[in-house]
A and B are shown apart, each in its own frame.
Chain A
Amino acid sequence: MASEDAEKEAVRVAVKEILSEEDMDVVTEGMVRKKAAERAGVEVSAPWFKGFVKQLIQEFVSARQDKSKRGEEEEEEEKGDENAGSQESSKAMLAEGEDEIICQLSGKRNVSVQNFRGKALVSIREYYEKDGKTLPSSKGISLTIDQWEALKKELPAIRQAIESLQ
């Protein structure tokens, strides 16, 4: 019978591989657990398994977040217009500087128009306080002009859908 430590090591290796293969926006912990169990030859139902995999995922994600902030800005250049509005790095948003807040949707949420590398972005986003500053959080979405125009076009359909649900 394999020792628990040897099994844990096999699981650690498997999880690391899986997380580097998978699309982090979509993969779930459950999927990672299942694949890791198969690769490491370990029972998914082992009492220590779930908590251990959860911990590994958290380590991986926080390590990746530190690296990704710099990497994301370079990525945006290559991806082009479609994703130009999806930059999450608060550093990029602050660096550009020009950020006009149009309205407040709630205590924490604003709509702003930003100048991001010469292009206007409509940003619907939550903000948070840090050291007396109000900073944009990663919760929200920045729309390119095309996406904003498309949204405006769909307003009648959206209103109708809202009415049908109320």
Chain B
Amino acid sequence: MASKRKRGSKADEKEDEESVAVCEISKNRKVSVRKWRGQVLVDIREYWYKGGECLPGKKGISLTMDQWNVLQEHVKQIDSAVQRVN
């Protein structure tokens, strides 16, 4: 009989997610790279400091590898568009 995975136990959290928190892009915003259920995700998000903890906020987005690659491929175009605004 297959064993059931208990949700929420610490052992399972470690199996589900490996976080390689990467870098700050502003005082409150970070880009983190993590593995979630076998999938590598790039997360760009706001964080809040509360009671000594740094917690992820709801403003943000998690990109899959496909999405991240498209973004990277268009860095130059994004820069050009930004130049045109300023």
Q: Which residues of A contact B (CB under 8 A)?
A: 23, 25-26, 82, 86, 88, 98, 100, 102-106, 109, 111, 113-115, 119-120, 122, 124-126, 139-141, 143-148, 150-152, 154-155, 157-158, 161-162, 164-166
Place the interface of chain B in its size category: 35 or more
Inter-subunit contact A146/B26 (CB<8 Å): yes
Inter-subunit contact A119/B85 (CB<8 Å): yes
**B window 18-75: CB within 8 A of A:** 18, 20, 22-29, 31, 33-35, 40, 42, 44-46, 48, 50, 55, 57-61, 63-68, 70-75
B77 touches A (CB below 8 Å):
yes
Q: Note all chain A residues with C-beta closer than 8 A to B11.
A: none
9 closest Cβ contacts across the A-B interface? Answer: A120-B85, A113-B81, A161-B33, A105-B67, A150-B25, A154-B23, A161-B20, A103-B74, A120-B82
Q: Which residues of B contact A (CB under 8 A)?
A: 18, 20, 22-29, 31, 33-35, 40, 42, 44-46, 48, 50, 55, 57-61, 63-68, 70-75, 77-78, 81-82, 84-86
Q: How far is the CA of A120 from the CA of B79 in the complex (A)?
A: 10
B44 interface neighbour in A98, A103, A151, A164, Cβ under 8 Å? A151
